[in-house]
């Protein structure tokens, strides 16, 4: 009998404590739970007792994900190496103990939480997970929240805000004092401002023509676009806090559009154009020679990014930052046909939301899913001034996931279009 089994038989609990650092008590196993080791030792089958099917687990997958304290450090980091995976290519024995599964490989003994195994099965419910992760309905109505809700220390309001931003992609906060001190207070609820070529906190305000380095800082209209596409990870959340928008200012309404919805519709109506836009690389650039902070950013990627199952994981749209396409001669006409069609679909979309921001309102949206723009305006002696900042897309997703866990929420989290692959 191996030392593992001997210890297990004589005193399971002390074995576990000694060998694996496991100190918690056992919970009851799900009724009807059974485990079966394959004859060749290369895998095991788990019958959950809930569904009639059995779930298979591969020996190496199990070894890689061993939950004992030797393999998973208290920092949450794995210490399993390729050497372990190579060596432990056989399962000698398995045993269920309450809700724990003890596994003995060639040269290592460890354990798993059975519920963890069930919920992390390598191919469980992939299709369902994808569907849940994709927003089901286009957002045409703006959700509104109050400043005091998002600031509430219970974090319920903060969670709701972040959840709106994940599910609907956009949210307006009202009742925020109209000064930049409060822009910073709002930012601190979300985390650190993302530092970019535009600094951290920026102002959108018409400047004299000779100082212009960005057309946003003028009175002209802005086509629907996404900001800073010339980064690998363009800004995630965009927050625009309206400091001033005098009644005499004519125009200047903000426009917003759910890009994902339009792109998915393009897939249905013009599959070939959709394909072209996911295969032709487009250069996005920012060239600024003057000033203290010159840049020459260039990044090439297609307008639509897909994962291994052709799910949309990224959208890249910024006509004004598009550099010179260096296409292959045979794809140029098809590219322009698709590009101009999508451009038109965006601009003429019935889903465009138009909203005039009032001082004390904060417009927040996911810059990776939503396009935004602005109608042209005339100051007429007044002023329109927005203070803005960004939050990194992964920081946003992480914050929401962590908060959801802490507050015990069960709503499924949506894909935030940060180019992470679906299951």
Range 42-61, binding other proteins (CB under 8 A): 56, 58, 60-61
Out of 86, 107, 127, 128, point to the residue binding other proteins (CB under 8 A): 86
Q: Which two tokens stand for residue 186?
A: 């709002």
Q: Which is nearer to other proteins, 175 or 199 (CB)?
A: 199
| Beta-sheet strands, E only, within 213-259 | 222-225, 237-245, 250-251, 254-258
Out of 2, 14, 27, 340, point to the residue binding other proteins (CB under 8 A): 340
Q: How far is the CB of 234 from other proteins (least distance, A)?
A: 9
Q: Which is nearer to other proteins, 347 or 379 (CB)?
A: 347
Out of 113, 203, 219, 331, point to the residue binding other proteins (CB under 8 A): 331
CA angle 396, 282, 348 (to 5 degrees): 75
Q: How far is the CB of 50 from other proteins (least distance, A)?
A: 20
Q: Which is nearer to other proteins, 175 or 319 (CB)?
A: 319
Out of 12, 38, 134, 420, point to the residue binding other proteins (CB under 8 A): 420
Sort residue 328 into left (φ over 0), alpha (ψ -120 to 50) or beta: beta
- C-alpha 69/C-alpha 66 separation (Å) is 9
Q: Which is nearer to other proteins, 234 or 360 (CB)?
A: 234
Q: Which is nearer to other proteins, 180 or 300 (CB)?
A: 300
Q: Which is nearer to other proteins, 50 or 320 (CB)?
A: 320
Q: Which is nearer to other proteins, 12 or 347 (CB)?
A: 347
Out of 5, 70, 336, 352, point to the residue binding other proteins (CB under 8 A): 336
- C-alpha 61/C-alpha 44 separation (Å) is 11
Which H or E element spans position 160?
A: helix 156-167
Q: Which of residues 264-293 bind other proteins (CB under 8 A)?
A: 275-276, 279-281, 285-288
- C-alpha 268/C-alpha 262 separation (Å) is 10
Q: Which two tokens stand for residue 259?
A: 């890009």
Beta-carbon count within 10 A of 336 CB: 15
CB-based contacts of 387, cutoff 8 Å, min separation 6 = 180, 183, 201, 202, 203, 204, 240, 241, 243
Tell me the site size for other proteins, rule CB under 8 A: 97
Q: Which is nearer to other proteins, 49 or 319 (CB)?
A: 319
Q: What is the DSSP letter of 322?
A: B
Q: Which is nearer to other proteins, 13 or 42 (CB)?
A: 42
Q: How far is the CB of 359 from other proteins (least distance, A)?
A: 27
Residue 402 interacting with other proteins (CB under 8 A): yes
Residue 367 interacting with other proteins (CB under 8 A): no
Q: How far is the CB of 98 from other proteins (least distance, A)?
A: 21
Residue 320 interacting with other proteins (CB under 8 A): yes
Q: Which of residues 368-397 bind other proteins (CB under 8 A)?
A: 392-395, 397
Q: Which of residues 216-275 bind other proteins (CB under 8 A)?
A: 223, 230-233, 275
Q: How far is the CB of 409 from other proteins (least distance, A)?
A: 12
- C-alpha 194/C-alpha 418 separation (Å) is 15
Q: Which of residues 152-211 bind other proteins (CB under 8 A)?
A: 191-192, 194-195, 197, 209-210
CA dihedral 300, 396, 133, 303 (to 10 degrees): -20
Residue 409 interacting with other proteins (CB under 8 A): no
Phi, then psi, of 127 in degrees rounded to 5: -65, -45
Counting every residue, how long is the chain? 423
Phi, then psi, of 334 in degrees rounded to 5: -65, -40
Q: Which two tokens stand for residue 207?
A: 């400047």
What single string gives the DSSP state of each residue in 337-406? HHHHHHHHHHHT-TT-EEE-PPTT-EEEEETTTEEEEE--EE-TT--EEEEEEEE-HHHHHHHHHHHHHH
Residue 411 interacting with other proteins (CB under 8 A): no
- C-alpha 181/C-alpha 299 separation (Å) is 34
Residues 146/136, Cβ–Cβ less than 8 Å? no
Residue 75 interacting with other proteins (CB under 8 A): yes
Out of 22, 159, 161, 299, point to the residue binding other proteins (CB under 8 A): 299
């Amino acid at each position: 009998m191996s030392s593992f089994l001997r210890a297990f038989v004589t005193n399971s609990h002390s074995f576990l404590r000694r060998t694996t650092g496991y100190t918690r008590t056992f919970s009851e196993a799900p009724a009807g739970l059974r485990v079966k080791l394959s004859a060749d030792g290369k895998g095991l089958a788990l019958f959950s007792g809930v569904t009639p099917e059995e779930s298979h687990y591969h020996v190496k997958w199990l070894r890689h994900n061993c939950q004992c304290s030797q393999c998973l450090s208290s920092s949450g980091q794995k210490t399993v190496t390729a050497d372990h995976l190579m060596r432990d290519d056989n399962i000698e024995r398995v045993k269920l103990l309450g809700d724990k599964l003890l596994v003995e490989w060639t040269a290592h003994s460890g354990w798993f939480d059975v519920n963890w195994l069930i919920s992390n099965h390598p191919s469980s419910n992939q299709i369902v997970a994808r569907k849940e992760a994709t927003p089901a309905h286009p957002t045409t109505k703006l959700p509104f929240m109050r400043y005091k809700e998002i600031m509430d220390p219970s974090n319920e309001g903060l969670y709701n805000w972040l959840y709106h931003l994940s599910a609907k992609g956009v949210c307006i906060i009202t009742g925020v004092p109209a000064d930049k001190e409060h822009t910073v207070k709002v930012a601190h609820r979300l985390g650190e401002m993302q530092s970019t070529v535009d600094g951290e906190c920026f102002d959108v305000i018409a400047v004299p023509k000779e100082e212009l380095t960005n057309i946003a800082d003028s009175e002209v209209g802005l086509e629907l676009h996404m900001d800073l596409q010339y980064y690998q990870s363009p800004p995630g959340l965009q927050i625009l806090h309206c400091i001033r928008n005098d009644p005499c200012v004519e125009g200047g309404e903000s426009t917003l559009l759910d890009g994902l919805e339009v792109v998915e519709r393009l897939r249905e109506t013009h599959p070939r154009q959709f394909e072209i836009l996911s295969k032709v690389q487009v250069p996005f650039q920012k060239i600024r020679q003057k000033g203290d902070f010159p840049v020459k950013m260039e990044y090439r990627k297609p307008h639509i990014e897909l994962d291994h199952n052709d799910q949309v994981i990224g959208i890249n749209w910024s006509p004004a930052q598009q550099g010179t396409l260096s296409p292959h001669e045979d794809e140029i006409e098809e590219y322009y046909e698709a590009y101009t069609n999508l451009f038109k679909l965006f601009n003429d979309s019935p889903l465009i939301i138009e909203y005039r921001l009032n001082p004390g309102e904060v417009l927040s949206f996911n810059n990776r899913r939503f396009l935004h723009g602005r109608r042209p305006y005339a100051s007429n002696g007044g002023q329109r001034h927005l203070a803005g900042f960004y939050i990194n897309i992964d920081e946003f997703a992480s914050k929401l996931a962590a908060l959801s866990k802490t507050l015990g929420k069960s709503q499924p989290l949506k894909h935030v279009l940060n180019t992470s692959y679906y299951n």
